[in-house]
Amino acid sequence: MDVPLPAGLRFAKMQGAGNDFVVLDLRDGMSCPSPRQLVALANRHFGIGCDQIMTIGPSEMADAALRFFNPDGTESGACGNATRCAVVWLGGVPGRRYRLATAAGVLVAERLEDGQVRVDMGPPRLGWRDVPLAREMDTLALDLPGAPVACSMGNPHVTFFVDDLDATDVAGLGAAFETNTLFPSRANIGFAQMTGAASMRLFVWERGAGATLACGSGACAAGVAAIRRGLAYERIAIAMPGGDLAVEWRGEGVWLSGPARMVFEGRVG
Ligand SMILES: N[C@@H](CCC[C@H](N)C(=O)O)C(=O)O
């Protein structure tokens, strides 16, 4: 890690269900750190440490423009938990609707009276080209061991349904499938265990980040997968290692709800 960190850079550390973010507010004209600096900032030993870096920039069509970067320096089109944290950063006035421009479109989000934040992540994209997959295939049962379900939530997701999450090598399998040749853009890999007609446990191995305590877009993808498979109906509670999220899908946008919190603010020395 011989990359100098951007001295003086102001940041906030936020988290949603233990999915943690370095938040850089660039609305005052500050430029985005270089890709190598982003990797250094995300490093848990030599930098600040996080699952993703989110930049918040100005937008003409929305309250702000969001970008998401993984610790390996790659950019993602979506990050559900960081999007929910952005609402808190922007004031989080209950009842006010925030419009947030992302690579996946303008998302609408709001803080609820109980402090939770929910966001409409937009409709899942279910075609094999949308995910994307390398070849034509039914996204409801991919031609892989375990016949997982795939969709795009603005980023690529694959969900395996397993009988026993604790008996599944989620990190080993997640790392192996992330780079499977079926996924030309790699993929986020989820492992879901249904625990009832409207509840599941979920672990997500995130593309470019590895094991995380929660993944909002992964929760949306797993919820949509369960509903498409007939395992749940419209709303599902999702328990992840770092906390609980809820997903609602009635055929249009996927609503994601859960906690979003400030941890601390700081300045790079
Ligand atoms: N933690 C996120 C997803 C972050 C991006 C993902 N690793 C990707 O590369 O697509 C979430 O809460 O959705």
Number of domains in the chain: 2
Which residues sit in the known binding site for substrate? 19, 52, 70, 80-81, 155, 188, 206-207, 216-217
Give residue 154 CA to ligand 1 midpoint distance, Å.
10
Whether residue 98 sits in one domain with residue 160: no
Mutate to test the pocket of ligand 1, among 14, 100, 177, 188 (most ligand atoms within 8 A of CB): 188
Which structure tokens are listed for 14?
């936020």
Would you say the CB of residue 15 lies under 6 angstroms from ligand 1?
no
Give residue 77 CA to ligand 1 midpoint distance, Å.
8
Whether residue 242 sits in one domain with residue 200: yes
For the chain, give the secondary structure using H, E and C: CCCCCCCCCEEEEEEECCEEEEEEECCCCCCCCCHHHHHHHHCCCCCCCCCEEEEEECCCCCCEEEEEECCCCCEECCCHHHHHHHHHHCCCCCCCEEEEEECCEEEEEEECCCCCEEEECCCCECCCCCCCCCCCCCCCCCCCCCCCEEEECCCEEEEEECCCHHHCCHHHHHHHHHCCCCCCCCCEEEEEEEEECCEEEEEEEECCCEECCCCHHHHHHHHHHHHHCCCCCCEEEEEECCEEEEEEECCCCEEEEECCEEEEEEECC
pLDDT at 90: 98
**Closest C-alpha to ligand 1, atom 1:** 215
Mutate to test the pocket of ligand 1, among 76, 121, 202 (most ligand atoms within 8 A of CB): 76
Whether residue 241 sits in one domain with residue 263: no
Determine whether 215 is an active site residue: yes
Whether residue 33 sits in one domain with residue 71: yes
pLDDT at 1: 63
- Is pTM beyond 0.95? Reply is yes
Give residue 146 CA to ligand 1 midpoint distance, Å.
23
Q: Which among 50, 85, 151, 215 is annotated as catalytic?
A: 215
Give residue 188 CA to ligand 1 midpoint distance, Å.
7
pLDDT at 3: 77
Whether residue 42 sits in one domain with residue 67: yes
- Domain span including residue 164: 149-252
Determine whether 220 is an active site residue: no
List the CATH number of the domain containing 186: 3.10.310.10
* N-to-C CA span, the chain: 16
Give residue 215 CA to ligand 1 midpoint distance, Å.
6
Residue 118 burial class via C-beta count within 10 angstroms: exposed 0-12, middle 13-18, buried 19 and up: buried
CB distance 142 to 150 below 8 Å: yes
Written as tens digits, the pLDDT of the chain (269 aa) is 677 888 899 999 999 999 999 999 999 988 999 999 999 999 999 999 999 999 999 999 999 999 999 999 999 999 999 999 999 999 999 999 999 999 999 999 999 999 999 999 999 999 999 999 999 999 999 999 999 999 999 999 999 999 999 999 999 999 999 999 999 999 999 999 999 999 999 999 999 999 999 999 999 999 999 999 999 999 999 999 999 999 999 999 999 999 999 999 999 98
Whether residue 128 lies inside any domain: the answer is no
Whether residue 189 sits in one domain with residue 91: no
Would you say the CB of residue 245 lies under 6 angstroms from ligand 1?
no
pLDDT at 187: 99
Whether residue 160 sits in one domain with residue 61: no
Can you tell me the ipTM of this complex?
0.99
Mutate to test the pocket of ligand 1, among 68, 152, 254 (most ligand atoms within 8 A of CB): 68
Whether residue 160 sits in one domain with residue 109: no
Helix axes 80-89, 216-228, angle to 10 degrees: 130
Would you say the CB of residue 107 lies under 6 angstroms from ligand 1?
no
Q: Which among 50, 79, 151, 220 is annotated as catalytic?
A: 79
Phi-psi region of 222 (alpha: psi -120 to 50; beta: other; left: phi over 0): alpha
Whether residue 3 lies inside any domain: the answer is no
